[in-house]
Chains A and B, each alone.
Chain A
Amino acid sequence: MKLLVVEDDETTGTYIARGLREEGHAVDLVSDGRSGLIEATSNPYDVLILDRMLPEVDGLTLLKTLRAAGNHTPALLLTAMGDVEDRIEGLQAGADDYLAKPFVFGELAARVAALARRPQSQEAETVLRALDLEMNLITRQVTRAGQVIDLLPREFALLEHMLRRKGRVQTRTMLLESVWDISFDPGTNVVETHISRLRAKVDRPFDRELIQTVRGAGYRVVA
């Protein structure tokens, strides 16, 4: 993918750019809002990664200008210390996702990947599959290797979310937002305990691991 990073802190910027290049992306890095605006309008990017506080033109203004000009490239907004208000403001300005500093690189990479693929796979599926697991969305029955697995409604929703994004990393905060509709950090390892319960039902009795842990990032269902 072709990505644009607009970040004024040199250390953070080069670190993000290097990490994303290592993941196989083509990355352009600029350090102020004006150059960001010029780059974003003159090149076809897959995802924009914008710092909120920037010299010359700040991230929000950059984004609003782009959207007003009809440019709808998916954008991820980075900001110091997330807060509900910042989040709402960012999303209103046209950001597709939002990430608070300090973040770990895994979270950033997972969100960038999710953004790039967001418009796809909207077709109405009735059965989701991974390895030998099948989830029937109509009968709401889950089977693995022919065995019926009983899931609680939230476990079903969690597994469905991950199956729909098979092969892609889902971070803790992404799961909290999508599965529980929670935009604050509940602190303790609530997601981990839910995942481990789900694993106990869909993974432990079988030989191959369906839900994988991605260190420093999150979880993914094997493709």
Chain B
Amino acid sequence: MPLRLAILLVGLFTLVSLVSLAASYAFTQSSFEQSIRADLRQDLAGFRAAPNASAVALLVEAESREADPNRLILSYISPSGRIYGNGAIARSDEGFQIISLDKERAQYAGAYLSLTDTLYGGLITVARSRAEINALGAVFFNILLLSLLPTVLIALGGGLVLARRSKRHVEVVSRALERMTGGDLGARVVIGPRWSDDLREIGGKVNQMADAQDQATQALRQVSSDIAHDLKTPLQRVALYLDDLERHQEDAARREELLGRSREEVAQMGQVFQALLQLARVEARGARDRFERVDLSATAATLVEMFEPTAAARAQSLRAEIAEGLTVMGDRALLGQMLSNLIENALRHAPEGSDILVRLVREAGAAVLEVVDNGPGIPEAERARVRQRLYRLDRSRNTPGHGLGLSLVDAIVSLHGATLRLEENDPGLRARVLFPA
């Protein structure tokens, strides 16, 4: 690419230089000619100043003796037919020529501009050589040779060097990409100090993409191992209960208890799978095709009313401050799931007697949904991590839940183009969902 560009620019530069050189050559040439013609006219005028033919002849003789016939030719043919001067115009088959007046009648080489006029019955001729004008051609040729040619060569050479360098840099990027494609997620583009700006940008973007990919893969690995770990525990418990059941078949009460516990563990495993699958579906973003206008006010009111008895059973108060008629574009079931997860989180992690508020307001033309509690909150340092799958605060290890609730909330929020903010409520947590206007 740089080579092609260099060639193009050099071609353009050469063309423009040649055209301007030719133009100035033509201009200089014509002004030279004009000045020679003016000289000739002036010469003739000088001879006209002589009073008679013999005076003209004397003047021509005198001046032609001084003049270099290669530069200036003077001749006067008197009314009596005598020729004075240092040359004459002769006409041959090849056109006009200038010849010497000595015996050889030698022909002068080179082109001349001449002016002939009648004077006192005779014929006066003045001719000046065009040698200077011809020399001009050589001067211009030299200019061409000395200035344009080196410029063209340097530009072409530079373009070639740049092209080769840029090819090397592109190869660095493409090698890194090949390694990544081949599975080496650690491969990165090493950007050199002399890289061009656009290649730097591409290299940087490739590295960003590789970082994101790397992180995603690591997260996936982490999630897989977390899932395996999360499911190992309930499986182990069910295995124990079944074992126990076999040994206590006659004890009806014991049997019922073990069956109940096994059922709960299995249900819990089912919930983990269900939540993971739902998370994957939400993240695949297929639901966007089904978006419709959802009455968020109505959904929020229904859910608050639905959870109110659960809160009351824990001596918690669940209150609602819901602005009427707020709607957003979205998936009704997912939005309900999101709010229900937020309310459930608050109910579960805030202690007995705490206050939970579900607030839906319009701020700057956009819907803002908040679930605020005055429980223990989430420490600043942990706020980013609680959005990760299966992550649970240490103190929550023994409360029910699978650590997927907030991940799902986060995924649903971003599916709707909204933002989830987890803020300090001093004390407690203020979970804010900011919908786009």
B340 engages A184 (CB within 8 Å): yes
Chain A residue nearest to B347 (CB atoms) is A188
Q: Interface digits, A67-82 against B, CB 8 Å rule (1 contact, 0 not)?
A: 0000000000000011
Closest to B302 in A: A180
Residues of B contacting A150 in the complex (Cβ-Cβ under 8 angstroms): none
Closest to B348 in A: A188
Q: Is the CB of A81 within 8 A of B273?
A: yes
B369 within 8 A of A: no
Q: B50 at interface (Cβ–Cβ under 8 A)?
A: no
Given contacts A180-B302, A180-B306, contact A83 B266 (CB under 8 A): no
Task: Select which of A81, A100, A102, A187 is within 8 A of B340 by beta carbon.
Answer: A187
Taking a contact as CB atoms under 8 Å apart, the answer to whether A85 and B286 are in contact is: yes
Q: For the complex, is B204 an interface residue (Cβ under 8 Å from A)? A: no
- Distance between B163 CB and nearest chain A CB, rounded to angstroms: 53
Number of residue pairs across A and B with beta carbons under 8 Å? 67
Q: Are B340 and A154 in contact (CB under 8 A)?
A: no
Residues of B within 8 A of A184 (CB): 333-334, 336-337, 340
Considering the complex, give the chain B residue whose CB is closest to the CB of A185: B274
- Contact call A216/B263, Cβ cutoff below 8 A: yes
A182 at the interface (CB under 8 A from B): yes
A61 at the binding interface (Cβ < 8 Å): no
Task: Report which of B271, B303, B333, B347 forms a contact with A84, defined as CB distance below 8 A.
Answer: B333
Contact, CB under 8 Å: A194 / B309:
yes
Give the chain B neighbours of A140 by CB distance below 8 A: none
Given A83-B277, A84-B333, A186-B340 in contact, is the A193-B313 Cβ separation under 8 Å?
A: yes
Interface size (B, Cβ < 8 Å)? 32
Contact B309 A193 (CB under 8 A): yes
> Contacting A182 at CB < 8 Å: which of B309, B336, B347?
B336
Indicate whether A38 reaches chain B with its CB closer than 8 angstroms: no
Which residues of chain A have C-beta atoms less than 8 A from B309's C-beta?
Answer: 190, 193-194, 196-197
Query: Contact: B305 with A154, CB < 8 Å?
Result: yes
A183 contacts chain B at the CB level, 8 A cutoff: yes
User: Does A11 reach chain B (CB closer than 8 Å)?
Assistant: no
Contact pattern, B 335-363, Cβ under 8 Å of A = 1, otherwise 0: 01100110010011000000000000000
Whether A190 pairs with B306 at a CB distance below 8 angstroms is yes
A-chain residues with CB within 8 Å of residue B334 when the two chains form the complex: 84, 184
Asked whether any CB of chain A lies closer than 8 Å to the CB of B231, the reply is no
Q: Is the C-beta of B331 less than 8 angstroms from some C-beta in chain A?
A: yes
Confirm or deny: B270 has a beta carbon within 8 angstroms of a beta carbon on chain A: yes
Chain A residues near B313 (CB, 8 Å)? 193
Q: Are A182 and B287 in contact (CB under 8 A)?
A: no
Residue numbers in B under 8 Å from A81 (CB-CB):
273-274, 277
Residues of B within 8 A of A104 (CB): 263
A42 CB–B CB distance under 8 Å: no
Mask for A113-148, Cβ within 8 A of B = 1, else 0? 000000000000000000000000000000000000
Known: A81-B273, A81-B274. A186 touches B281 (CB 8 A): no
Measured between C-beta atoms, what is the minimum distance from B340 to chain A in Å?
Answer: 4
Which A43-66 residues have C-beta < 8 A from chain B? none
Interface residues of B in 278-295 (CB under 8 A from A): 278, 281, 286-287, 290
Tell me, yes or no, whether B120 is within 8 Å of chain A by CB. Answer: no
Give the nearest-CB partner of B307 in chain A: A190
Query: B292 to chain A: closest CB distance in Å?
Result: 12
Q: Any chain A CB within 8 A of the CB of B142?
A: no
Please indicate the chain B residues that have their CB under 8 angstroms from the CB of A84 in the complex.
Answer: 287, 331, 333-334
- A184-219, CB under 8 A of B: which get 1 and which 0? 111111100110110000000000000000001000
Which residues from A are CB-within-8-Å of B348? 188
CB distance from B281 to the nearest CB of A (A): 6
Kindly provide the distance from the CB of A192 to the nearest chain B CB, expressed in whole angstroms. 9
Contact A188 B344 (CB under 8 A): yes
Ordered by A's residue number, 11 sampled pairs between the chains whose C-beta atoms are within 8 Å are A83-B277, A88-B290, A102-B266, A185-B271, A186-B307, A186-B344, A187-B271, A188-B310, A189-B310, A190-B307, A194-B306
Ranked 5 nearest A-B pairs via Cβ: A193-B309, A184-B337, A186-B340, A84-B333, A102-B270
